Amino acid sequence: MSPREGSLLVAEPFLSDEHFNHAVISLIDYSPEGSSMGIVMNRTSGYTLGQLVEGFADDVDIPVYFGGPMSRNRMFYIHRLGDLFNGAVEIMPGLWIGGDYNQVLQYVRDGYPSDDLIRFFIGYSGWDAGQLEGEVREHVWAVTNPLSPEQMLRDSDDTYWHKVVRQMGSQYRGWQMQPMFPAAN
């Protein structure tokens, strides 16, 4: 399968890059002739929204995920809340990115649920023209179809990676047996 907007990039199990070990990336913007952008869906950052957003109490414990090593001073959000937020862009049926920042923050302040509905990220992953295709040819990434919108915003870290690999079929069964950090064994 070739990369396309909406597809998932799944890191091969021996990828040792600290940013992408057992990463699952949602490909948000893709152009074989230009640059491409994705968000690591499963890497927790260790921060919460309350720690990173001015005006929020520290006890607002909604996790913020690490979307990738580029522009780590920018926040992104992927959600299932549709056009509830002005300017949100549908990236696959039932899943949106962005929208009016103040509306999103007000949604959180008002105490509406966020679990499995909205996920916040700092940074993103990016590729120059031809770079992603080369990495796919070199088997750095396997390309697969996205999960359902509900599954896209559920689970994290290694659990998420294993969930996606299981969906990819029996030819990837061997990946399931590899620890997150094989060199540590």
- pLDDT in the model for residue 181: 58
What span, in angstroms and rounded, lies between the C-alpha atoms of 134 and 129? 10
Amino acid at 177: M
Q: pLDDT value at position 97?
A: 97
Model confidence at 58, pLDDT cuts 50, 70, 90, reads low
Domain locations in the chain as residue ranges: 8-184
3-state secondary structure of 8: strand
- Rounded to the nearest 5 percent, the helix, strand and coil shares of the chain are 25, 30, 45
Superfamily for the 8-184 domain: VC0467-like (3.40.1740.10)
The Cα–Cα gap between 58 and 16 comes to 33
Answer yes or no: are the C-beta atoms of 152 and 95 closer than 8 Å. Answer: yes
Does pLDDT of 184 surpass 60? Answer: no
- Digit-coded pLDDT (tens) for 135-172: 999 999 999 999 999 999 999 888 999 999 999 999 99
Q: Where are the beta strands (DSSP E) in 14-171?
A: 24-29, 36-40, 44-48, 63-66, 70-79, 89-92, 95-97, 118-127, 141-144
Segment 22-34, tens digit of pLDDT: 999 999 999 988 9
**DSSP 3-state assignment of 91?**
strand
pTM: predicted TM-score of the whole model, two decimal places? 0.92
How large a percentage of the chain has pLDDT more than 90? 74
